[in-house]
Structure 1
């Protein structure tokens, strides 16, 4: 699959926290690399298919980085991170400071100067790697909240580059963002890009308002202008940066083909039989994260069971909670709370052979997810805050048979597009219960009408369209950097 390759530069470079491959160590000690699952990898396949490109990212394990290598026509450039850097940069600043702050402070963020210092060091390392592999005038696409300083760091080294940045999570209102002690430096980092993309229009507006409030920037429409003497660089010219919504999507055709495969269909039938052939299967699929609203969802299910509105074996609820950040205390506490709630519900409402809640704390391959989606009569996607939530889009794509119903939180990016879903406020437990019951009890034709509209939306605006829209916006962004000849040192 992979082979070492000599140093060269590329006209298209992606920078993301992780490489698109996972290391596999065989019993004999040999190492191979396997393509990672996930929306970003799928999305980038469509834009890299007909071009040579480089991908800069962490290899997935602490210690010295492997040498750059080729995976087909894609150059993979690993960034080394020590165990201590992973603790401070990733678990600390990225997921202990930024993640809760950017998700409505559902849990309080933690501000440590030592975390910030390591975050800055790691971002500089990413920028250095990108600068070495980017050809003159190359297009660079930086991804997500872990790398918010990279655009400006890269701009300082390589003013010839065309730089875009995309945020996969929400961007908070200025009243929350202002809590961050390093707020100005984060914004300055992002304003090194030519185009910054967000999941929702509100996220782009929040970013623009923060630039105005924190930096004193001006804006006209979606173009922010800032710089000159205001940015602390003597003689620096003002920069104009466009900020707009470009919501991410899925590989709709690929996921439909997967769901339509004979093996997945057979597995779906096995799952339904193993659940006891209930009349209604409710399903939740989430990372085990406090933003996903799993506790609120379980409370609604518990009250529906207590009210007698649903009961096993006619109705059963399956909750898949993929392990996530289990070294972080808030996540360990969340797991204990959820598992305690599941135990109480099953103790009160399950019978021998008839389980009210099936709780699965493990990861599953895409094939198993596609089968579960086909089993689910009602899909519960009820985060308290989510940048997009691609599970919602995968569900409606998998249910191309016309069945199913999607209960969707208003506080997801997906709700901006999937307007015929059964929308809900997950904080309103009474309202959430009513929405779940409506999704169960509405007549078949009403549910089919809603699902047709949802599938049409996802099919029309798929991941390839998302990637093309982002790159088109980057190409026509208002400020084209000067191009100058420069020597680029080889990767060592």
Structure 2
């Protein structure tokens, strides 16, 4: 079994902000549900902060360092209040949340109402007025903290579906600000968004922005259709003519596609690290050195299509097209929202399916599916990518899916192949993957076999093209282009 391998992580003690008679103001403010830090324990058991490893933090940290930036967000612990502090060239402004806030605003409205609604109702969303009331209250709390933090004329970039009301609240309090919003998850079609009882309030909240960014053009189009239908605003090209209470034109909000990416250069560098490459070979040896290692890496979420790929792999074993020993599926499913009932049920179903396949097909020397319910550090993830021949990204609906890009970026020798759901945002850019409709199990089986049997020259050609696309359009370019568009649009107005 591939064992998790730990590596040193860089940490830094927080530096309290300099006390002043009036809070320091910042020219660039990021607003997100979470601050870009995690609390860990040092070697002596004392708490300290570590910069979060996510792509958003990687993209924005350099901007924060050069633009006099602050980050507004929750620090991750309920019923605890922290003062502002500095960490890694960023000024951090914690927004406190109680246990009840987390239950109603985050686990409730954000993840049991909006998340399933925005992901094509794969599971039914729940609509509760108490959840909405707390969502509105917490959004106001974030907006007020941001209004206190932003300097006159500052640029504010609000992130993701948990904070869709913040732009309008912020504009009403601080009309001098330049406000951008980025939606990291899909935006649903009009016919699905129509179910939301608070659809007008959400649309109006987003339209407080000067620029609303989406992963795909289809998401931006869905948003504009909803605005036209439910608010009656004029939409020309990607310009939405926002009206005041009397129906008179007030200002322009733009909706644009700005697909997020990864730090491809760093991943490519890690992929050449001799220690990581040795670890990749060790993983294959631990799996019994099969001819083909297939890999899935996901949060354990019903949107990721984990059950579909496990079913397809099991049927390929039943059909005799793949055999245990010749092929092995490694499925990394990191824990996610385990207090939410639908996620607990998903875990039972996935683990039951894995158990049935392994019970039927395992041999004394080889396992069919190696299921790993863990989160892994980046270096171990790169080793897993390198150990894999075929990456399976079978999301039923996904805003982007950065795992697809990470796998491709790490294969600097252009070895391997990506099977990619057409319902993931990455499919718009990685057109040379083996694209698949994950709902079509027979089609998914055929796609897996296409990737497994693809001639080396063809897979090399495809991987080279995809790696070039990712290298050019990295995460730094994503943040730069979005902020340049936000600034240009604001100057036009």
Q: State the TM bucket, normalised to the shorter chain.
A: over 0.9
Q: Which residue does 1:133 correspond to in 2?
A: 149
Change (3 A) 1:480 1:55: farther
Q: Which residue does 1:198 correspond to in 2?
A: 214
Counterpart secondary structure, 2:245: helix
CA-to-partner distance for each residue in 1:60-93, whole Å, 9 max, x for gaps? 1101321100113210001100000000000000
1:85 and 2:101 matched: yes
Q: Which residue does 1:465 correspond to in 2?
A: 477
TM-score norm. by structure 1 comes to 0.95
Q: Which residue does 1:96 correspond to in 2?
A: 112
Q: 1:37 aligns with which of 35, 45, 53?
A: 53
CA-to-partner distance for each residue in 1:127-155, whole Å, 9 max, x for gaps? 00000110000000000000000000000
Counterpart secondary structure, 1:104: coil
Q: Distance in 2 between matches of 1:49 and 1:26?
A: 25
Structure 2: unaligned runs, 5 residues or longer? 1-11
CA-to-partner distance for each residue in 1:302-350, whole Å, 9 max, x for gaps? 1100000001101111000000000000000000000000000011111
CA-to-partner distance for each residue in 1:92-126, whole Å, 9 max, x for gaps? 00000000000000000000000000000000000
Q: 1:284 aligns with which of 284, 296, 304?
A: 296
**CA shift at 1:214, angstroms?**
0.7
Length, aligned pairs only: 477
Change (3 A) 1:29 1:399: closer
Contact conserved, 2:395 with 2:423, CA < 8 A, in 1? yes
**CA shift at 1:229, angstroms?**
2.5
Q: Which residue does 2:383 correspond to in 1?
A: 371
Q: Which residue does 1:315 correspond to in 2?
A: 327
Q: Distance in 2 between matches of 1:167 and 1:136?
A: 25
Q: Distance in 2 between matches of 1:27 and 1:109?
A: 43
Q: Which residue does 1:60 correspond to in 2?
A: 76
Q: Which residue does 1:270 correspond to in 2?
A: 282
TM-score norm. by structure 2 comes to 0.95
Q: Distance in 2 between matches of 1:396 and 1:192?
A: 37
Q: Which residue does 1:407 correspond to in 2?
A: 419
Q: Which of 4-13 and 383-392 deviates more?
A: 4-13
1:430 and 2:446 matched: no
Change (3 A) 1:407 1:374: same
Q: Distance in 2 between matches of 1:230 and 1:197?
A: 27
**CA shift at 1:171, angstroms?**
0.2
Contact conserved, 2:392 with 2:419, CA < 8 A, in 1? yes
Contact conserved, 1:241 with 1:479, CA < 8 A, in 2? no
Q: Distance in 1 between matches of 2:100 and 2:94?
A: 17
Q: Distance in 1 between matches of 2:294 and 2:101?
A: 41
Contact conserved, 2:64 with 2:70, CA < 8 A, in 1? no
Q: Distance in 2 between matches of 1:377 and 1:49?
A: 38
Counterpart secondary structure, 2:122: coil
**CA shift at 1:37, angstroms?**
1.2
**CA shift at 1:353, angstroms?**
1.6
**CA shift at 1:31, angstroms?**
2.7
Q: Distance in 1 between matches of 2:270 and 2:43?
A: 31
Change (3 A) 1:33 1:323: same
Contact conserved, 2:329 with 2:370, CA < 8 A, in 1? yes
**CA shift at 1:263, angstroms?**
1.6
Q: Which of 260-269 and 326-335 deviates more?
A: 260-269
The root-mean-square deviation of aligned C-alpha atoms, in Å, is 1.3
Q: Distance in 2 between matches of 1:184 and 1:394?
A: 37
**CA shift at 1:255, angstroms?**
1.1
Q: Which residue does 1:487 correspond to in 2?
A: none
Q: Which residue does 2:6 correspond to in 1?
A: none
1:421 and 2:433 matched: yes
**CA shift at 1:230, angstroms?**
5.2
1:338-353 → structure 2 map (5 Å cutoff): 338-353=350-365
**CA shift at 1:29, angstroms?**
6.7
1:299 and 2:311 matched: yes
Q: Which residue does 1:490 correspond to in 2?
A: none
Counterpart secondary structure, 1:229: coil
1:175 and 2:191 matched: yes
Q: Distance in 1 between matches of 2:134 and 2:365?
A: 52
**CA shift at 1:51, angstroms?**
2.5
Q: Distance in 2 between matches of 1:469 and 1:4?
A: 33
Q: Distance in 2 between matches of 1:464 and 1:34?
A: 21
